[in-house]
Amino acid sequence: MKVGIIGGGAIGLLFAAYLGKKQDVTLFVKSPEQQDSINSMGIILRHPHTYETVMIKAVTDYENLSTNDLIIIAVKQYHLSALYETLKHIPADTPLLFLQNGIGHLTLLEKLPHLHLYVGTVEHGALRLAKNEVAHKGKGKTNVAIYRGSDQVLERLSQESIDFPVRVQPEYEIMLFEKLAVNAVINPLTAVLGVRNGRLIENEEFKSLAESVFDDITRLYPRFMHVIDFKDIITIAYKTRENTSSMLADLQAKRQTEIEAILGAMVDEAKRQNISLSIIPTLYKMVKGLDKEGRKG
């Protein structure tokens, strides 16, 4: 299968490296420097005690997007609007898989003409170390589901991704909500508090804040209360206790965060439903403020 991956960040590199072992992968990146680095040296995939090099093709133009059997969009959610015109002109029968945090990208999917649209959530931990180097920090799986169309390509991807599990889920809303709830509790709090994930459960005051965020989420989305509970959040925080959340990492690196896609979408939904939330609006403003301060100048 020919797979095109848009985005040369941690997730794009991770997927390109793993899928590139079995598939014909082309990675679409922004900079000529990253293109040259990958084409000359491959992607270095680092594991805890070993590493391997996977040779794939990297390009900086989108001319050959339509030659792929599947296109995976692995950019941050706030980059999607700039990609819209490019995506819109890909032939409508080419399947697209979106791997963004939050739920804000569903608005864009509604506008696209494609017959087969998929969404996914990534449970792996990944850290980009260089233009052609990524560390696999925590093994998990990729959950995928149909937004529109058939699951034929997803099933094929699942069957061919033996050492990089891809699991096809029956309902995209439930799948996205589960990831959204985890991200909404762990990412903003660790970003504001400046702590690793595990501190949210080791410090009782932090744990109380986390529970308040979760209570806001269940108030806003009562129909999904059966999907996940606070004990599940605690379990995930424990399993990833040594991890630095992506939002904290973005703040530390003075990069734009995905706060709009995660809490911003919830604040908008609360306004639409005329629901009063206790902590999420304040937490949203705190992360927004830190984001702006960090990227000044």
Query: In the predicted model, what is the mean pLDDT of residues 122-143?
Result: 92
pLDDT tens track for 258-273 = 999 899 999 999 999 9
Strand 57-59 and strand 51-54: the pairing is unpaired
Give the span between the Cα atoms of 77 and 257, in whole angstroms: 10
Pairwise CA distance, residues 209 & 28, whole Å = 40
d(C-alpha 224, C-alpha 178), whole Å:
9
**So what's the pLDDT on residue 104?**
82
Q: Do the Cβ atoms of 13 and 136 come closer than 8 Å? A: no
Query: Are 201 and 212 within 8 A, CB to CB?
Result: no
pLDDT of 226 above 90: no
Query: Quick one: tokens of 258?
Result: 């995905």
Residues with Cβ within 8 Å of 158's Cβ and at least 6 positions away in sequence, in order, are 144, 165, 166, 167, 168
Instruction: Compute the distance between CA of residue 75 and CA of residue 104 in angstroms, rounded to an integer.
Output: 13
DSSP symbols for 83-132: HHHHHHTS-TTS-EEE--SSSTTHHHHHH---S-EEEEEE--EEEEEETT
Q: Which of 76, 131, 137, 179 is catalytic?
A: 179
Q: How far is CA 162 from CA 49, 72, 98, 149, in A?
A: 21, 18, 21, 24
Q: Which residue in this structure is represented by tokens 């904290």?
A: 248
- Mean pLDDT throughout 73-90? 94
Q: Is the pLDDT of residue 297 over 90?
A: no
Tokens of 75: 């950019």
pLDDT digits (tens, 9 = 90+) for 50-75: 999 999 999 999 988 999 999 999 99
Are the CB atoms for 165 and 210 separated by under 8 Å? Answer: no
- Percent of the chain scoring above 90 in pLDDT: 85
Question: Which pLDDT tens digit goes with each residue over 112-128?
Answer: 999 999 999 999 888 89
Average pLDDT over residues 234-259: 91
Render pLDDT for 21-36 as a digit per residue (tens, 0 to 9). 999 999 999 999 999 9
Which residue type sits at 188?
Answer: P
Is 179 assigned a catalytic role?
A: yes
Per-residue pLDDT at 225: 84
pTM (2 d.p.) = 0.91
Q: How far apart are CA 8 and CA 189, in angstroms?
A: 27
Pairwise CA distance, residues 178 & 247, whole Å: 18
Q: Which structure tokens are listed for 112? A: 């696209």
Question: What domains are there in the chain, each with its CATH number?
Answer: 2-170 (3.40.50.720), 174-290 (1.10.1040.10)
